[in-house]
């Protein structure tokens, strides 16, 4: 990252190569739209290049900083009504984002799409991206307690939907 901060284009290309897939997967699952995800990732890399000097390794891990930039771009776009999230389906999801079998993935994505954006973002950061609560709090610029609350509500909602559908299907 120090080389990128000095304007080294080769180092920037290497940085992009290392992290672009993780950012794209997160953006796609967050938005449900490949087009929206492409825009978010592109805007994220533009910020990284132009504001590389603002990164401080003592403040956060590089992956946390990258995801925070992307999340901020997502929130800004929603506030400006620039984009609408779409239903995420196996057809518009990147192959590398698949974590469970297609039938379960379709069910999960449908339920994730019905969560409020902040809950969806938190649960994806925790379970799809592998961040801990402290990093999620940094990315979302909130407290660890708020993250814990978002995750608990999201999990409760998903569990309730699963139990309700299981109960309905068992009858």
Higher pLDDT, 42 or 108: 42
Residue 111, both tokens: 């339920």
CATH number of 2-170: 1.20.140.160
CB 139 within 8 A of CB 71: yes
Q: Where are the domains of the chain?
A: 2-170
| Residue 142: other Cβ atoms inside 10 A | 15
Determine the pLDDT at residue 79: 83
Class of residue 120 by CB neighbours under 10 A (exposed 0-12, middle 13-18, buried 19+) = buried
pTM score, two decimals?
A: 0.77
**CA 88 – CA 9 distance, rounded (Å):** 34
pLDDT digits (tens, 9 = 90+) for 51-72: 999 999 998 999 999 999 999 9
pLDDT level of residue 114 (50, 70, 90 thresholds): confident
pLDDT level of residue 99 (50, 70, 90 thresholds): very low
CB 69 within 8 A of CB 47: yes
Task: State the distance between the two ends of the chain, measured CA to CA, in whole angstroms.
Answer: 57
How many helices (H) and strands (E) the chain has is answered by 8, 0
DSSP secondary structure string for all residues of 51-83: TGGG--TTTS-HHHHHHHHHHHHHHHHHHTT--
Looking up tokens 């389906």, which residue turns up?
A: 89
**CA 48 – CA 59 distance, rounded (Å):** 16
């Amino acid at each position: 990252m120090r080389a990128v901060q000095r304007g080294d284009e080769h180092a920037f290309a290497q940085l992009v190569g290392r992290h672009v897939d993780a950012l794209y997967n997160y953006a796609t699952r967050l938005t449900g739209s490949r087009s929206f995800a492409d825009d978010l990732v592109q805007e994220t890399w533009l910020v990284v290049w132009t504001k590389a000097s603002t990164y401080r390794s003592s403040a956060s891990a590089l992956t946390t900083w990258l995801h925070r930039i992307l999340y901020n771009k997502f929130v800004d776009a929603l506030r400006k009504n620039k984009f609408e999230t779409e239903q995420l389906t196996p057809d518009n999801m990147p192959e590398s984002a698949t974590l469970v079998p297609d039938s379960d993935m379709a069910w999960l994505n449908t339920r994730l799409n019905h969560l409020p954006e902040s809950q969806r973002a938190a649960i994806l950061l925790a379970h799809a991206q592998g961040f801990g609560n402290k990093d999620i709090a940094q990315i979302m610029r909130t407290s660890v307690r708020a993250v814990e609350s978002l995750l608990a509500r999201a999990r409760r909602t998903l569990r309730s939907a699963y139990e309700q559908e299981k109960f309905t299907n068992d009858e």
